[in-house]
Structure 1
Amino acid sequence: MPLSDQQENIKARALEAYGEEAWSEGWEAALRIDPDFVAASIALRQVPTLKRHLSAKFHALCRISVNAAATHLNVPRILPHVRAALDEGATPHEILEVLELASTLGIHTMNIGVPLLVEVLEERGRTGPSPLTARQEELKAEFTRVRGYWHDFWNEMLELDPEMFAAYTDFSTVPWRTGPLTPAEKELIYISYDIAATHLYVPGTKLHIRNALNHGATVEQILEVMEISSALGLDAVETAMPIVAQELRERGIAL
């Protein structure tokens, strides 16, 4: 069945705003059933685009971060955002740095798990942290120097598992030593996946907001990153509607 004039106008808006790669079978099916929802979705996704406190290139880099992060891994959406980033002038190193930053998400296993371990140990009689060794003090100083901050949630990991902390320090500081993004941009990338609905890591989000502001990011830029990440919820439609459309076809229900 042909699209109505209203549906054609909504689709044209989406294509103009996001290009052919952003339109999919899922959105086509949703448009046929509920054009008002699709129009509202376009408007929601356009909020950071229309504000543009960050460059189009950085928008694309944030979307790579959100979609490639281990808590989401929306593989079909990675390529369109990589293409958009390249079209806006991103370098291969900038794209890789975004993935390097997103790769640090895995350490949240330790950030959450080690304090829980300490709680259990305290229930069993642990009386307090042991003094840091000279090597542990060196690791703390190195992390603080390169990463530019220290947070108390590192204390227990450094005390109980200095080998892991040393490896993580070396791993997480690579983009800070070799990466082309500015310190503020790095912190904004951290925010983009920490605040995403598939993660919502509160301690890390607050830490990186503080760091981003310290490095010169504006409130508007931080909000814009959050707006970009909040569009993740629309993946429910894009992922599920092709399945719905296929089932409707098999049942002979026309859209």
Structure 2
Amino acid sequence: MTLTARQQEIKDEFIRIRKTWAPQWESILRMDCEYLNSYLQLSAVPFKHNYLEDKVKEFIYLAMNVSSTHMFAPGVSLHLKLALDFGATGDELMEVLQLASSVGIHGANVGGRVLTEVLTEQGVTVNRDQDDQRCARLKAAFMAFQGHWDLSWDTLVALDPDFFERYVRFAEVPWKKGPLEPKVKELVLCAIDAAATHLYEPGIKAHMRSAIRYGATQVEIMEMLEIVSVVGIHGALIGGSMLEEALGARARH
């Protein structure tokens, strides 16, 4: 379908600023190009400020898209390619995927606390591990690579130290051998927690503190938040093409 002069202008500007284009944008461009332009101007801010290098921006986009709370496959494919174009290595990208995979533990973080509250409400004795030395060792092992501790971990390690121990071994993998600098790891983890699809406030605070400790600045953290804050556009990306198809089908009948 031929684009109008205005539609083509917006598409060209999108490619110039974002260094990419995907078929999913075509439906929005055709149906409401000024809406797409307004999104472009919003999403362009981090690319105009450029406090984070391009491949780090793509790590953040990738983590947001691949997170178990979102799993937007077109975005995963797109940002993997862009990250490679910007010089990322396979090992770096694998590490981003590993970091993103740890988000599932938040079900146990929140659920463990709720379980304790419910058992107490029902008058049921909460069985906690009594091996204080083991719990202290597990806490120390966690702190060795995370550098922080949240009260939600106290509940989890006390309820099932076996599970917590295996989680530590799982989550520490990218910290033991991953090539990304600690600041970048923390920005990636913070991005996952801060995305509207997750919004895990304890994690946001913990990873912001750690990112700052590793040298992240206010503007770098804010740029990360600006990147994850555009996740809502994926609804229009998916729905726009479906709407265009539905309108086309109705017109044919």
Match of 1:57 in 2: 55
Tell me if 1:4 matches 2:4. Answer: yes
- Larger displacement relative to structure 2 (47-56 or 142-151): 142-151
Task: Evaluate the alpha carbon distance shift between residue 13 and residue 140 of structure 1 in structure 2; reply closer, same or farther with a 3 A threshold.
Answer: same
**In structure 2, what is the equivalent of residue 94 of structure 1?**
92
Q: Is the 8 A contact 2:99 2:174 kept in 1?
A: yes
Structure 2 unpaired stretches of 5+: none
Distance 1:67 1:194 in 2: 12
Kept after mapping to 1: 8 A contact 2:18/2:44: no
- Does structure 1 residue 67 correspond to structure 2 residue 68? no
Q: CA deviation at 1:27?
A: 2.5
Q: Does structure 2 retain, via aligned residues, the 8 Å contact 1:14–1:23?
A: no
Tell me the secondary structure at the aligned position of residue 44 of structure 2. Answer: helix
Q: Which amino acid in 2 is paired with 1:245?
A: E
Q: d(CA) in 1 for partners of 2:86 and 2:228?
A: 19
Tell me if the contact between 2:69 and 2:198 (Cα under 8 Å) persists in the aligned partners: yes
Alpha-carbon shift at residue 127 of structure 1 (Å): 8.0
Letter in 2 for 1:146: F
Of residues 129-138 and 113-122 in structure 1, the stretch that sits farther from structure 2 once superposed is: 129-138
Gaps of 5+ in 1: none
**What is the aligned partner in structure 1 of residue 195 from structure 2?**
196
**C-alpha distance in structure 2 between counterparts of 1:198 and 1:112, whole Å:** 16
By how many angstroms is 1:130 displaced?
Answer: 6.2
CA shift in 2, pair 1:29/1:131, >3 Å = same
Aligned partner of 2:137 in structure 1 is 138
CA contact (8 A) 1:66 1:196 kept: yes
For residues 64-123 of structure 1, the C-alpha deviation after alignment (integer angstroms, 9 at most, x for no partner) is 101111000001121111111111111111001101100100100110000001111222
Cα distance in 1 for residues equivalent to 2:133 and 2:205: 30
Quote the Cα distance in structure 2 between the aligned partners of 1:221 and 1:19: 21
Instruction: Give the CA deviation at 1:202.
Output: 1.1
Alignment length, in residue pairs? 251
Q: Name the aligned partner's letter for residue 69 of structure 2.
A: T
Task: Confirm or deny: 8 A CA contact 1:27 1:237 kept in the other structure.
Answer: no
Q: Deviations over 1:188-224 (max 9, x none)?
A: 0001111111111111111111111111111111111
Q: State the Cα distance separating 1:177 from its structure 2 match.
A: 0.9
Q: Identity rate of aligned residues, in percent?
A: 36
Displacement of 1:131: 5.0
Deviation of 1:153 (Å): 1.1
Q: Relative to 1, partners in 2 of residues 1:225 and 1:10: Cα closer, same or farther, differing over 3 Å?
A: same
Distance in 2 separating the partners of 1:75 and 1:127: 41
* Partner Cα separation in structure 2 for residue 33 and residue 166 of structure 1: 52
Residue matched to 2:18: 18
Report how far residue 159 of structure 1 moved: 0.8
Distance (Å, rounded) in 2 between the aligned partners of 1:129 and 1:32: 59
One-letter amino acid of the counterpart of residue 18, structure 2? Y
Residue 126 of structure 1: CA displacement?
A: 4.3
Q: Distance in 1 between matches of 2:141 and 2:236?
A: 45
Could you tell me whether the CA contact under 8 Å between 1:30 and 1:38 is conserved in 2?
Answer: yes
**Matched position secondary structure for 1:213:** helix
CA distance in 2, matches of 1:157, 1:49: 40
**4+ residue stretches of structure 1 with deviation over 3 A?**
125-132
